[in-house]
Structure 1
């Protein structure tokens, strides 16, 4: 399940200097501020890497859908396509990993998982670049996928190791994200930033729902077998958080205090409504499946673009994360 993590802005790095501070005290606070900024910059860089990996894995999924995961490339399927799905790995992702690993500010577990991921990602990039070049030049039409088979074999060997290291990296990002988010919430609460506080709880609730889907290994073919109890509880948390957020943004004084405009909030709310609708349909489909016979379930056909499917929920969630990040910047 490929979904994005949210970017946290650096509110924890803000320090106020009073007129009574000594130069020594101001210097100490500036050093603390620098450390906090470095910490937030590195953390957000790891979040960006996480999201970059999500994009890469989406492209990998599209390639595997047509090429297959077996030893033999699916020539019959590939041959019908006007263009073969390509996997693009931007060198910037590798550079970010290298920079974070070398950073003086240490995040031990994340740094260690990055060290394991980096060489494998470089290997994967080498083969996917070759695949992009090969299919981009339509060489498969001339050699009947001969080189394509070789590239496919090399890709699968690396992909298995990449998936393991990528999953481990994402797990560490998730752990760090929970830790950072708690600190952010405490800061918002203490400074009276009720909109940001409730907005952060809301996006956390949305992410928790997606996490529940991911933990259950829900896919297009298995989602109607999902654990309804856990998913409905997560859905209720979204609705509760959403209601609290709407209450917070209805306060004109609070909007002015936190420098939010109704126009920006409307953009987020529109996407929030889309996500909530998709979640509602998703839950409804699972509920309906519980009343269906096995043969009826097997006859049920879902397509990726249908509302309320796992793919649709993830798609709406990723858009919501983008709007959240824009709102918080």
Structure 2
């Protein structure tokens, strides 16, 4: 699950001429609108974004690091497997997860309360322990500590990580389920407000990102990454892909609708970064579909280079990379003083 971080969509775009109206009256109107709005703002938005960042980090970084570790250091029964020939597979860093944990932890006991608070608290505790274990394992192999103790510490850390991962994965699933409902509700509320306000161009941008997110979610729900990409349910992916391409076509059409752009005080240039990112995301989603249809597995050399896998065409990691860039450009766009 990877999502849009900012949902304060209304009044994100507009010219400075509108600011010439009486400031006090404007503030009153905005306050009234916020009171009636189901879209988060203020402290609610800050907490929501922190939880979304945690969700993003867990699903796009931590789970992949966990999966790659067990693939490299476990046998078919999950038991510890010693590296051979003094060459140990690299252990993926989880810096995004660590940062997200710190941010989310600030809001766990703060108002307003969210339906995901209980699940977030459990997950923060789990991930704090597991991320430290991964770091300790990384340090152990980098320093060649196994020479000193004949892999004893490596095996102990492995068994600890294996046991804790059972709890962590259950808590990730519970957190994802709560966040999915929360995110869907926010996106629906934001879309309604955009339509009601006549911001149809921004609505089409948001809809495209939502459909792209559904592609990502389809892959994540199946536990798909570069190493098992051909296990993807092709029919499920293609079904979501068709809606995704439809939203892409609608976005491109909207970006060229001069009459509507003028109503929203936008130009094609204002949308250039969004459109560029949308093109890249569309291309990466299409490349992945093409790989699935042709049943082309990703080379072992690419799989064993986790730092570069997001550059390999037709991988879930590359699609995630382009999607995240799209989200970043969108968040910049809606907060730009056009």
- TM-score tier by shorter-chain length is 0.7 to 0.9
1-structure distance, mates of 2:289, 2:139:
43
- Residue 320 of structure 1 pairs with residue 316 of structure 2: no
**Matching residue within 307, 316, 319 for 1:310:** 316
User: Are the structure 2 counterparts of residues 97 and 222 from structure 1 closer, same or farther at C-alpha, using a change threshold of 3 Å?
Assistant: closer
Q: Counterpart in 2 of 1:5?
A: 3
Give the superposition deviation at 1:201: 0.6
2-structure distance, mates of 1:319, 1:20:
37
Q: Counterpart in 2 of 1:105?
A: 112
Q: Counterpart in 1 of 2:55?
A: 50
- Residue 234 of structure 1 pairs with residue 217 of structure 2: no
Q: SS at the partner of 2:107?
A: helix
Q: Pick 1 or 2: higher relative contact order, CA cutoff 8 A, min separation 6.
A: 2
User: Are the structure 2 counterparts of residues 141 and 96 from structure 1 closer, same or farther at C-alpha, using a change threshold of 3 Å?
Assistant: same
Verify the 8 A CA contact 2:284 2:322 in the aligned structure 1. Answer: yes
5+ residue gaps, structure 1, are 290-299
Give the superposition deviation at 1:235: 1.7
2-structure distance, mates of 1:11, 1:267:
17
- Residue 245 of structure 1 pairs with residue 271 of structure 2: no
**Matching residue within 180, 183, 191 for 2:197:** 191
Q: Counterpart in 2 of 1:80?
A: 87
User: Are the structure 2 counterparts of residues 323 and 140 from structure 1 closer, same or farther at C-alpha, using a change threshold of 3 Å?
Assistant: farther
CA-to-aligned-CA distance 1:70-108 (integer Å, 9 cap, x gap):
22133227x314855444476543333333221121112
User: Are the structure 2 counterparts of residues 258 and 56 from structure 1 closer, same or farther at C-alpha, using a change threshold of 3 Å?
Assistant: farther
**Matching residue within 40, 43, 52 for 1:38:** 43
Verify the 8 A CA contact 2:226 2:298 in the aligned structure 1. Answer: yes
Q: Counterpart in 2 of 1:279?
A: 285
1-structure distance, mates of 2:252, 2:30:
41
- Taking structure 2 as the reference length, what is the TM-score of the superposition? 0.76
User: Are the structure 2 counterparts of residues 173 and 84 from structure 1 closer, same or farther at C-alpha, using a change threshold of 3 Å?
Assistant: closer
Verify the 8 A CA contact 1:10 1:37 in the aligned structure 2. Answer: no
CA-to-aligned-CA distance 1:206-255 (integer Å, 9 cap, x gap):
11122223344445465446444433332221222112212222234654
User: Are the structure 2 counterparts of residues 67 and 326 from structure 1 closer, same or farther at C-alpha, using a change threshold of 3 Å?
Assistant: farther
2-structure distance, mates of 1:190, 1:68:
54
Correspondence 1:57-72 to 2 at 5 A: 57-68=63-74, 70-72=78-80
5+ residue gaps, structure 2, are 13-18, 304-308
User: Are the structure 2 counterparts of residues 168 and 42 from structure 1 closer, same or farther at C-alpha, using a change threshold of 3 Å?
Assistant: same
1-structure distance, mates of 2:221, 2:9:
31
Verify the 8 A CA contact 2:215 2:237 in the aligned structure 1. Answer: yes
User: Are the structure 2 counterparts of residues 249 and 234 from structure 1 closer, same or farther at C-alpha, using a change threshold of 3 Å?
Assistant: same
Q: Counterpart in 2 of 1:297?
A: none
1-structure distance, mates of 2:121, 2:109:
10
1-structure distance, mates of 2:229, 2:185:
30
RMSD: 3.6
CA-to-aligned-CA distance 1:172-216 (integer Å, 9 cap, x gap):
111111000000001111111122101111111111122223344
- Taking structure 1 as the reference length, what is the TM-score of the superposition? 0.78
2-structure distance, mates of 1:238, 1:42:
29
2-structure distance, mates of 1:202, 1:89:
25
